[in-house]
Amino acid sequence: MKTILVAIGAGILLSPCSWSAQIEVDVGRSRIQVDAKATGHAFTGSLEKYEVKVAGDPATGKPTALDLKWDFNDLDTADDKRDKEMVKWLGGGKPKGSFSFVKSWDETADGGKAQGNLTINGVSKAVSFPYTVKREGGWVTIDGKARLDYQDFKLPIIRAMAVMTVDPKLDVRFHIVGKVK
């Protein structure tokens, strides 16, 4: 579940960046997070490592390309047991996720809407979301949020001890900061 949220969040973060120039992402200032709700509590997972390539039009700040790849073992929910169970739920080993930007529309100087292909558990789905873009000097900040359902990726509902259930609807949030090259 956390994995799916992170994947979506990453996809959202990356998809709104469309520059013909390359954007060097500052991982220390950027975040991709997944918000999940379970019986009696909620939690957030943060993607600690990922590979991202972003490009866009330096004159307009409009995104032209974004590719994001990650390993779900790098999703941290601040609960080691939960993190291990999530990887097991995803099939064990080193489950991978990816997001590739496809298009954007309704663009303004402040953002727009983006669409891309999110792949989790070997299943690829189109994901759309709103995003904002802020430019300061040679720096670009992209923020967005996407909602997804992990069942759309052929993953079963997470249940534990016959009472605890993780809601299949997840929010993926992203905050991407990068320098225009």
pLDDT digit string (tens) for the chain, length 181 residues: 443 433 344 444 443 433 357 889 999 999 999 999 999 999 999 999 999 888 877 776 667 888 999 999 999 999 999 999 999 999 999 999 999 999 988 988 888 999 999 999 999 999 999 999 898 988 989 999 999 999 999 999 998 887 899 999 999 999 999 998 8
> In what helix (H) or strand (E) does residue 166 lie, and over which residues does it extend?
strand 164-166
Domains (range + CATH), the chain: 2-180 (2.40.128.110)
Distance CA 88, CA 82 (A): 10
